């Protein structure tokens, strides 16, 4: 097969200053959790995207100086020659496949409080970022930059640019977005200066223009220079000389960079979850760019549909299709479009587990792509699995873990049978994706079923509940049990450990709702799981016309949703649906009419009227079928996978199913351990201090 002619536009070369991108697929800078301490892991992760057809592959935010230290969050740096060596591995991996390599030169200013370096944070006017989440909070406040500081900042960018060129980067970013230092000069909330760098928009733009010039001059015009700029706040602010301050800023800078990379101001809207935002959600904010500048423009929007991509270009919204999350879910997205294999794209589901990994300070993880971050450490490729076995395998359970295990085993060459007790495959996603906003998560099932149905060595059996005797009689060489987990009615005690079940009339779990039980209102949803399901159930019940009160042991609704950019949007959804919520409370009892609670810290008793209670708290794994099979020890190869092995998010189930299937009947080597390059004797050359 070959690509459809209507997608030819996506594969046109694009001039970016002195460089030429081979196509319009641009993997924009995004966090990966892979710092200079993991140079080989990072090189393989980014290099795989170049192999998959992305014309430009960028690394993430890269600090230009120790006064921009984002720890404990993972960040890269370009401070010395050891850093140059670390990044050179990545640029070599990208160039090997004909792609351009880009780096995002970054200074956090007031948003980077330098927990490790202990340098005093810098800002235009001493205005701090008053973060409300504990992970970002700090008692350190920035100082006002003087003329010497501004000159130093420009110099740091120039020196970092020269190191970047030595490392092999083709495109060098000036990063004026997401609340970081150059952006702080653009936005009047941060910039209250009265000198030539403050006041009017023209003055506030001055520093960004000087940084662009300094980066270009530092490399003698040999590298392309990109400006990454946030548009959300600027677009919303009026201007006396243009439709908005965003128009005015871009008008003043329209000829300065070789490329504009446009984005939102806040992670919640920049990387909005699919639950609350559709593909291409940035367009209303960035759609004006091509009317102001002739320079190429790249932007994102969780693009997975090639038709949407073509539309963005033909309508003059973008010149290049930016990808962060879609490039993680499927590094080979461009190659599949070019090969006419649209149905094989592993589409991003917008769950934002990738973003949670940055908040956790670990390498990127992905629900759709369990090989993300494992390309070097385990030698996993997202598309290629070595055929190493002609044995037979039986997978019991057709949820996310079972589907992934079956697919991996089949790609290894085994003859695979997948048995599912219900009449459809999908496991927990069959019901969960019917909840508000979660339909796109069914892509986890659609992709795997689509692949399995094309494979001649796979047999799918729905409505096939199996006993231990059935499994033994089947006679497979390998057996994987992936039968999922079960929700309990256990309460959460004061020490935040699940306790005894709540025994009372009309007490339900998500499993009961999935089975179609009728819920009487008013209903309380008691959530100490703190991920998406409790809040989604509350929304669903409210849509049925029930009066809903959401109760959580945490300080906010769907507290862990902060990690996935969902928490602010959940609170807005609750307000729109009329859902009351109560935080920092534990349920102590229920008599069918009144729910008894207490404040988790003070113990103060509280109560409110309710007819039903839905508890979204503890899940238990395990499998009676697995136990019965393991007890006799008759089967030569038996494994427990996914939620049955250990309950978790869908990403955990898919990863575990993948890992189990890779290891069955194989002697897998241990994961490799990466290590940084040794720094020079001094952390910074004397002239950089």
User: Catalytic amino acids?
Assistant: 180
CA distances (Å), origin 140, targets 118, 122, 145, 184, 190: 9, 11, 16, 17, 16
Strand order across the beta sheet in which 458-461 lies: 458-461, 415-419, 392-396, 478-481, 638-640
DSSP 119: P
| CA neighbours closer than 13 Å in the CB half-sphere of residue 596 | 10
Instruction: Measure the CA–CA gap between 408 and 405, rounded to whole angstroms.
Output: 5
Alpha carbon distance 259, 427 (integer Å): 45
Q: How many alpha carbons lie under 13 Å from residue 92 in its C-beta half-sphere? A: 11
Helix axes of 39-51 and 81-95: crossing angle, nearest 10 degrees: 20
Count other C-beta atoms under 10 Å from residue 602's C-beta. 8
DSSP string of 420-459, one letter each residue: -SSSSS-TTHHHHTTSTT-GGGGHHHHHHHHHHHT-TTEE
Closest listed residue to residue 533, CA positions, set 515, 550, 555, 516: 550
In angstroms, the Cα distances linking 431 to 169, 512, 533, 613 are: 46, 11, 11, 19
Length of the chain: 689
Conformation bin of residue 592: beta by default, left when phi > 0, alpha when psi is -120 to 50:
left
Residue 506 has a CB neighbour count (10 Å cut-off) of: 18
* φ, ψ at 143 (rounded to 5°): -105, 160
Which pair of tokens denotes residue 673? Answer: 């351990």
**CB contact at 8 A, 661 and 380:** no
Contact of 64 with 156, CB cutoff 8 Å: yes
DSSP H stretches of helix in 60-135: 81-95
Contact 91, 78 (CB under 8 A): no
- Give, for 153, the enclosing helix (H) or strand (E): helix 147-167
Distance CA 56, CA 78 (A): 20
Closest CA to 317 of 293, 340, 295, 287: 287
Tokens of 528: 């100490």
Residue among 122, 233, 118 at smallest CA distance from 181: 122
Of 381, 437, 436, 351, nearest in space to 652 by CA: 351
Could you tell me the end-to-end alpha-carbon distance of the chain, in angstroms, rounded to an integer?
57
Check if the beta carbon of residue 661 is closer than 8 Å to that of residue 408.
yes
ω into residue 364 within 30 of 0, thus cis? no
Per the listing, tokens 């998500």 go with 510
- Among 67, 78, 68, residue whose Cα is nearest residue 159: 78
């Amino acid at each position: 097969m070959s690509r459809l002619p209507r997608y030819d536009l996506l594969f046109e070369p694009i001039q970016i200053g002195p460089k030429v991108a081979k196509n319009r697929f641009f993997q924009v800078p995004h966090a990966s959790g892979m710092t200079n301490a993991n140079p080989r892991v990072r090189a393989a992760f980014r290099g795989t995207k170049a192999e998959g057809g992305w014309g430009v592959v960028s690394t993430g935010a890269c600090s230009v100086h120790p006064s921009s230290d984002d720890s404990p969050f993972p960040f890269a740096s370009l401070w010395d020659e050891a850093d140059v060596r670390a990044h050179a591995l990545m640029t070599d991996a990208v160039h090997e496949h004909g792609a351009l390599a880009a780096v995002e030169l970054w200074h956090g200013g007031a948003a980077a409080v330098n927990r490790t370096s202990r340098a005093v944070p810098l800002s235009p006017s001493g205005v701090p970022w008053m973060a409300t989440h504990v992970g970002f909070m700090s008692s350190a406040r920035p100082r006002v930059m003087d003329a010497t500081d501004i000159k130093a900042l420009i110099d740091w960018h120039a020196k970092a640019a020269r190191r970047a060129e030595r490392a092999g980067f083709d495109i060098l970013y000036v990063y004026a977005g997401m609340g970081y230092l150059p952006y702080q000069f653009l936005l009047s909330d941060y910039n209250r200066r009265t000198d030539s760098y403050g006041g009017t928009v023209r003055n506030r733009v001055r520093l960004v223009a000087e940084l662009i010039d300094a980066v270009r001059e530092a490399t003698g015009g040999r590298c392309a220079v990109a400006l990454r700029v946030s548009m959300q706040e600027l677009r919303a602010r009026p201007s006396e000389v243009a439709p908005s301050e965003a128009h005015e800023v871009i008008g003043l800078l329209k000829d300065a960079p070789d490329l504009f990379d446009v984005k939102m101001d806040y992670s919640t809207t920049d990387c909005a979850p699919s639950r609350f935002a559709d593909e291409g959600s940035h367009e209303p904010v960035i759609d004006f760019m091509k009317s102001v500048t002739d320079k190429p423009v790249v932007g994102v929007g969780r693009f997975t549909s090639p038709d949407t991509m073509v539309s963005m270009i033909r309508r003059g919204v973008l010149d290049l299709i930016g990808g962060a999350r879609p490039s993680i879910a499927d590094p080979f997205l461009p190659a599949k479009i070019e090969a006419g294999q649209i149905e094989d794209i592993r589409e991003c589901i917008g769950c934002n587990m990738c973003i949670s990994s940055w908040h956790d300070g670990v390498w990127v993880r992905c629900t759709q792509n369990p090989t993300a971050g494992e390309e070097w450490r385990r030698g996993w490729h997202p598309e290629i699995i070595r055929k190493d076995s002609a044995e037979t395998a039986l997978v019991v359970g057709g949820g996310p873990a079972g589907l992934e295990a079956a697919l991996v085993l089949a790609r290894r060459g085994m003859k695979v049978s997948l048995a599912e007790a219900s009449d459809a495959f999908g496991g927990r996603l069959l019901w969960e994706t019917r909840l508000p906003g979660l339909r796109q998560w069914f892509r986890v099932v659609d992709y795997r079923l689509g692949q399995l149905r094309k494979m001649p060595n796979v047999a799918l059996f729905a409505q096939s509940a199996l006993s231990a005797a059935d499994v033994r009689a089947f006679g497979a060489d390998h057996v994987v049990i992936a039968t999922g987990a079960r929700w309990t009615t256990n309460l959460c005690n004061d020490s935040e450990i699940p306790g005894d079940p709540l025994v009372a009339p009309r007490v339900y779990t998500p499993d009961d709702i999935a089975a179609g039980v009728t819920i009487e209102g008013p209903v309380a949803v008691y959530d100490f799981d703190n991920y998406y399901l409790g809040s989604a159930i509350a929304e669903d019940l409210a849509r049925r016309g029930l009066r809903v009160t959401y109760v959580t042991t945490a300080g906010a609704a769907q507290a862990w949703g902060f990690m996935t950019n969902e928490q602010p949007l959940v609170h807005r959804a609750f307000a729109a649906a009329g859902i009351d919520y109560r935080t920092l409370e534990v349920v102590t009892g229920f008599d069918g009419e009144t729910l008894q609670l207490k404040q988790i810290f003070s113990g103060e008793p509280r109560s409110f009227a309710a007819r039903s209670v839905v508890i979204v708290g503890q899940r238990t794994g395990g499998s009676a079928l697995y136990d019965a099979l393991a007890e006799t020890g008759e089967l030569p190869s038996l494994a427990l996978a996914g939620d049955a092995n250990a309950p978790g998010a869908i990403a955990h189930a898919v990863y575990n199913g993948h890992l189990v299937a890779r290891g069955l009947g194989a002697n897998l080597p241990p994961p490799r351990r990466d290590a940084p390059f040794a720094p020079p004797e001094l952390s910074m050359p004397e002239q950089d201090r």
